[in-house]
Structure 1
């Protein structure tokens, strides 16, 4: 299944993806928020293990379930839909964390395709902030960015770097490059 209207935002944590997604939603665009933060919040509240600092494999698998659900909820064609991360991000996450990449994950990434142009947000130290869900340091954010670059290019996507700028300027850049 191809979502030619599904545009993915990827990169390391703390690079501004979520702020841009929120601004696009405020403009009336369809957006799909990142599932990782919600999974972390749910797992902490319930005392669960699917946390990146407790059970990385279980965390990845929960994110995959959410990513598949989010992908399948979108209608092909039509207006743009902006995804805060996509299925190939889980390949990047697996490699970053030295987890085996399951064949089923590779198969989903090959079969469930977003628009061929993916917007990648490079590390931006000036805006990077950790919090209760984002426990990575800046060096890990940079390594995550590199892992995502490899995951998407390895799956045949073309990356378009979103320049460091104000949220409004980043939104304008993205909309001009759809």
Structure 2
């Protein structure tokens, strides 16, 4: 559980993201990742834990497509429940940390609009038309 040992949780995240990256790296088709290795740095930042050198190195070695779609906090749909332990305020802090981290690692962020799921999917696909 992430709240019991945040450093161990970040290491598990790293191993999972490295696995996902290796599975997708040679594909001729676009891949969508829910999380990436820089998210680990964002997570550690929100926990006030220094980012270890090996995670910094992994971020620089295992690059993704430059474009990152990011979903902003949206109070209108936010629900805290058994699966989502974060408060809305914490989700804003996490978003801010992710924006800072992705900018630091030279990714281009595209914020998703606060619209219906179908419209967000269309936004993503139309944004990719110029990049594929």
Give the TM-score taking structure 1 as reference length.
0.69
**Corresponding residue for residue 164 of structure 1:** 114
Deviates most, 68-77 or 136-145: 68-77
Q: How big is the shift at 1:128?
A: 1.1
Of 110, 114, 131 in structure 1, the residue corresponding to residue 60 of structure 2 is 110
Bigger relative CO (Cα 8 Å, ≥ 6 apart)? 1
Query: Given the alignment of the two structures, is residue 60 of structure 1 paired with residue 60 of structure 2, yes or no?
Result: no
Q: Which residue pairs with 1:100 in the alignment?
A: 50
Query: Which stretches in structure 2 are left out of the alignment for 5+ residues?
Result: none
Residue aligned with 1:100, SS: coil
SS in 1 for 2:33: strand
Report the alpha carbon displacement of residue 133 of structure 1 after superposing the two structures with TM.
Answer: 3.0
Is residue 89 from structure 1 mapped to residue 43 from structure 2 by the alignment? no
SS in 2 for 1:81: coil
Larger strand proportion, structure 1 or 2? 1
For 1:142, which of 92, 95, 101 is the aligned residue? 92
Question: Alignment RMSD, CA only?
Answer: 1.0
Rounded Cα–Cα distance in structure 1 between residues aligned with 2:79 and 2:14: 25
SS at match of 1:78: coil
Query: Hey, what's the Cα distance between the residues in 2 that align with 1:130 and 1:109?
Result: 30
Shift of 1:106: 0.4
TM-score, L = length of structure 2: 0.93
Residue 132 of structure 1 deviates from its aligned partner by: 2.1
**Is the partner of 1:92 in helix, strand or coil?**
helix
- The superposition leaves residues 24-76 of structure 1 with CA deviations (integer Å, 9 ceiling, x where unpaired) of xxxxxxxxxxxxxxxxxxxxxxxxxxx22211111111111111111111143
Question: Which structure 1 residue ranges, 4+ long, deviate > 4 Å from structure 2?
Answer: none
Matches within 5 A, 1:5-16: none
Q: Matched residues in 1 for 2:38 and 2:46: separation?
A: 12
Is residue 71 of structure 1 aligned with residue 21 of structure 2? yes
Q: Provide the aligned length of Structure 1 versus Structure 2.
A: 128
